Chains A and B, each alone.
Chain A
């Protein structure tokens, strides 16, 4: 079992809906990430939080809004999504953002379908 927990596992939403994805880790990691993965493609970075502050935004559309309420939790708020946003959304964490010896540990993702 992964130590990064994501909920829900599956989500179907309409283009006018507002929903949130949640991620939790209890490994004491100070960096948390959102990745997006389309079928048969590698994960693509969306956001990086370090010590609860947004450090990296990879030019993600504003219909995706990240939030880090504390060092263990990470949310991704979704609003007015498009069908092409359907994908597997992965959360990851690492000890530090800039540490040499700090692999990312991934959750099992939320499978999002936008209708």
Chain B
């Protein structure tokens, strides 16, 4: 069964304290791994798409990396405004070799950055 597991469930950091969030997956036919940020009462905000092992993407204080079994979201020198829930999602191939829009989400990591 396809699974996406995020860890830790919650992470509390001091401002400026760098850390990493983990997303591990056991899926067949990965066709994209996506990171989203979600603020309370809002919809998920798209951050990154990763397709192949070894790929890296960066945006401001965030850097996402991908291996064959997991993805990391590295947060460098975080600020209080980085506090949010970070969701990882994967898109997989169907048996027919195509994929469709279904994203399988992990449970998310709640990040709190204290000033």
* Residues in A lying within 8 Å of B, measured CB to CB: 2, 4, 6, 31, 33, 41-43, 45, 48, 50, 55-56, 58, 88, 90, 92, 94, 97-98, 100-109, 111
Report whether B100 and A55 are in contact in the complex, using a CB–CB cutoff of 8 Å.
Answer: yes
Report whether B103 and A106 are in contact in the complex, using a CB–CB cutoff of 8 Å.
Answer: no
Distance (whole angstroms) from the CB of B94 to the closest CB of chain A: 9
Q: Taking A43-B44, A107-B43, A109-B43 as contacts, is the C-beta distance between A48 and B31 under 8 angstroms?
A: no
Number of chain B interface residues as a range: 20 to 34
Q: Pick the contact of B100 from A6, A88, A98, A101 — CB < 8 Å?
A: A98
Interface 1/0 per residue, B24-47 and A, CB below 8 Å: 000000011010100001111110
* Contact segment of B11-19, B59-67, B104-112: B104-112
- Complex-state Cα separation, A6 to B89, whole angstroms: 22
Interface status of B69 (Cβ within 8 A of chain A) = no
Report whether B43 and A90 are in contact in the complex, using a CB–CB cutoff of 8 Å.
Answer: yes
Distance (whole angstroms) from the CB of B37 to the closest CB of chain A: 11
* Residues in B lying within 8 Å of A, measured CB to CB: 31-32, 34, 36, 41-46, 49, 51, 87, 89, 98-103, 105-108
Across the A-B interface, give the 8 residue pairs with the lowest CB-CB distance, nearest first. A42-B105, A106-B43, A108-B43, A97-B101, A106-B44, A108-B42, A48-B101, A98-B98
User: Across the interface, which residues of B come within 8 angstroms of A90, CB to CB?
Assistant: 43-44
Report whether B46 and A100 are in contact in the complex, using a CB–CB cutoff of 8 Å.
Answer: no
Q: How many A-B residue contacts, CB cutoff 8 Å?
A: 71
Report whether B107 and A41 are in contact in the complex, using a CB–CB cutoff of 8 Å.
Answer: yes
User: Across the interface, which residues of A come within 8 angstroms of B103, CB to CB?
Assistant: 43, 45, 104
User: Across the interface, which residues of A come within 8 angstroms of B89, CB to CB?
Assistant: 42
User: Across the interface, which residues of B come within 8 angstroms of A108, CB to CB?
Assistant: 41-43
Q: Taking A103-B49, A106-B44 as contacts, is the C-beta distance between A98 and B102 under 8 angstroms?
A: no
With CB as the reference atom, state the residue of chain A lying closest to B43: A106
Report whether B41 and A104 are in contact in the complex, using a CB–CB cutoff of 8 Å.
Answer: no
